[in-house]
Amino acid sequence: MTSAEGLDLLVVGGGITGAGIALDAAARGLRTGIVEAGDWAQGTSCQSSKLVHGGLRYLYQANFPLVNEALTERGRLLTTIAPHLVKAQPFLWPLKHHYERSYSALGVGLYDALAVAGARGQRTVPLQKHLGRKGAAALAPALDTSDLVGAIRFYDARVDDARLVIDLVRTAVGLGAHAAARTRVTGFLRGAHGTVVGAHVLDTETGAAHEVRARRIINATGVWTEQTQDLATTAGGLKVLASKGIHLVVPKEAIDAQTGLFLRTEKSVLFIIPWPSYWIIGTTDTTWDQDVAKPVATAADVDYLLEHANSVLTRPLRREDIIGVYAGLRPLLQPRLKPGARASSTKVSREHTVTRLAPGLTAIAGGKLTTYRVMAADAVDHALGEALARTLPCVTADLPLVGAQDYAALLPQAGKIAAARGWTLERVTHLLDRYGDETPALLASIDADADLGRPLSQAPGYLRAEVAWAVSHEGAEHLEEVLVRRVRLDMEHRDRGLGAADEVLEVMAPLLGWDERRTTAEKKSYTQRVAELAAAEAEATDAAAVARMSRAV
């Protein structure tokens, strides 16, 4: 990235939007670089609802273009781009009144129709199914059906959000992109007539400063958009409203159901989403006016989600059932308001905007995870300009990410792999759904070092090989990066994975050349993070919760 020739395009921000832009640009043949101040997906993109969905509630707001766009992208992710990561997921929509069935069926029917149209006539998920009270109770015994007339089953999809981002970056690097995490932009380089021609960057690990030359730069820093653009201009630009969403994680046995649940609340919607060993419940939608680097859940947030989830469950969830809590910030475009007025985050558009902040510097904000690819294409087109964008069009609509190309062909071999290694089919499926067609390479690492084939004693759902892979292939350089965004014990265990820290460090340390002092420091740092988050979650207000945090989440 520091060559005299420089880059065609530099992306600032390593979340879902920035990673998508880097892949889009690299796939067009542009010399591309991407820098991220922290770890890949460290902000919003590892703290979402982990859904790939059309946005059923946007349909009821008559935002048909946004829903159509999202459903088209959902189909691409399910079938071509990331089928190993993105899985079709059924949901039940409980109905309390007979009249609801008619308009709800019409809405979900249109949802299905748009999805089929977006997939050129292909059904990428099953169509809606209407159920009576008994049918709903059979699929979800945990659902209180006493006040229901039935339910509608419809489909969306779920995804490990952080893994999607990491795979986007890795795919871009495979196409020639340069990627540097833990690299903060501290300013922009100016050329003739004020054109932005590069960036000053700081390696936060070593303290080394560098200059990166680039013909075009795209600011894709999400809730940090305004801070980043202020480094280049004082003439204004995009305004972003940070909206906090929190989620609870409870063990699979806490809710007896074969399907997820979709609930409409007085403010927004609530999802109860099944994963193989747990449920995710979310989300809230509240304006955030604290430090954007420290989004944390409060006791009030937890109470809100428990209250709404328990309103439809036969066995109420208790605080003791919760094994994980996480919070993230949505970067919503701030509407123009009268002086002194304030936007409600639940009413702010989820659509994105691309604009030029200065010659050579483009910014993008807004949008949603599902439509990251469209956002990336729009940002690169804008940065290139109309004429060059026509010459170098976007080619990512049918471009598989790492792990996706031969996933479908490998999937039928899961039983054979399990039998040969004496593993359960569940373990092999877990690996295939995380690593796709790279699973044979991970298995080869176990064949080379049998110790890597051992499950983590405190988290037997994961192999030691997955920790090693996180370091050797996915760029992890800290204990927190493994536990929070790669082997995701942070959200799956009550102690946020702290009990497995020693074993994880045992695998990491030799790979990264750590001595005992560095290893001890890594555990101490993560232990402090766990304690501070627990203290924050006991507070009643955002301000009090943030005061508990000594550093970024």
Cα separation, 475 vs 469, in Å, equals 9
Cα separation, 235 vs 233, in Å, equals 5
One-letter amino acid at 552 equals: A
One-letter amino acid at 244 equals: K
Structure tokens at 173: 């690097």
Cα separation, 502 vs 479, in Å, equals 10
For the CA atoms of 485, 487, 493, 499, the dihedral, rounded to the nearest 10 degrees, stands at -110
User: Is 116 buried (19+), middle (13-18) or exposed (0-12) by CB count in 10 A?
Assistant: middle
Angle at which helices 501-512 and 464-472 cross, to 10°: 40
Strand 209-219 versus strand 361-366 pairing type: parallel
Query: At a CB cut-off of 8 Å and minimum separation 6, what does 187 contact?
Result: 199, 200, 231
| C-alpha separations of 549 from 41, 216, 298, 315 in Å | 20, 36, 12, 34
| C-alpha separations of 550 from 373, 517, 535 in Å | 35, 22, 12
Cα separation, 122 vs 106, in Å, equals 20
DSSP annotation of 313 reads B
Q: What is the pLDDT of residue 110?
A: 87
Strand 87-95 versus strand 150-158 pairing type: antiparallel
Q: What is the pLDDT of residue 347?
A: 44
Cα separation, 508 vs 416, in Å, equals 30
Structure tokens at 467: 């920790």
The answer to whether residues 151 and 103 touch, using CB atoms and an 8 Å cutoff, is no
The answer to whether residues 70 and 370 touch, using CB atoms and an 8 Å cutoff, is yes
One-letter amino acid at 133 equals: R
One-letter amino acid at 276 equals: P
Residue from 73, 30, 27, 41 nearest 171 by CA: 27
Is the pTM here over 0.85, yes or no? yes
Q: What is the pLDDT of residue 377?
A: 96
As beta bridge partners, residue 12 has: 35, 219
Sign of CA dihedral 503, 509, 515, 517: negative
Residue for token pair 């290893």: 519
Cα separation, 296 vs 284, in Å, equals 12
DSSP annotation of 258 reads S
One-letter amino acid at 161 equals: D
Q: What is the pLDDT of residue 351?
A: 82
Q: Residue by residue, what is the 3-state secondary structure of 533-548?
A: HHHHCCCCCHHHHHHC
The answer to whether residues 66 and 143 touch, using CB atoms and an 8 Å cutoff, is no
Cα separation, 225 vs 157, in Å, equals 28
> Where in 124-257 does DSSP place strands (E)?
129-131, 150-158, 178-180, 183-190, 196-203, 209-219, 240-251
Distance of CA 517 to the CA centre of its chain: 33
Cα separation, 366 vs 460, in Å, equals 38
The answer to whether residues 505 and 519 touch, using CB atoms and an 8 Å cutoff, is yes
In a structure prediction context, what are the per-residue pLDDT tens digits for the chain, which is 553 residues long? 444 579 999 999 999 999 999 999 999 999 999 999 999 999 999 999 999 999 887 777 778 888 899 999 999 999 999 999 999 999 999 999 888 888 788 888 888 898 998 888 889 999 999 999 999 999 999 999 999 999 999 999 999 999 999 999 999 999 999 999 999 999 999 998 889 999 999 999 999 999 999 999 999 999 999 999 999 987 778 899 999 999 999 999 999 999 999 987 766 789 999 999 999 999 999 999 999 999 999 999 999 999 999 999 999 999 999 999 999 999 998 755 445 544 444 444 558 899 999 999 999 999 999 999 999 999 999 999 999 999 999 999 999 999 999 999 999 999 999 999 999 999 999 999 999 999 999 999 999 999 999 999 999 999 999 999 999 999 999 999 999 999 999 999 999 999 999 999 999 999 999 999 999 999 999 999 999 999 999 999 999 999 999 999 9
For the CA atoms of 8, 14, 15, 17, the dihedral, rounded to the nearest 10 degrees, stands at 0
Cα separation, 306 vs 302, in Å, equals 6
The answer to whether residues 322 and 194 touch, using CB atoms and an 8 Å cutoff, is no
The end-to-end CA distance of the chain, in Å, is 29
Residue 357 — φ and ψ, nearest 5°?
-85, -35
Three-state DSSP class for residue 396: coil
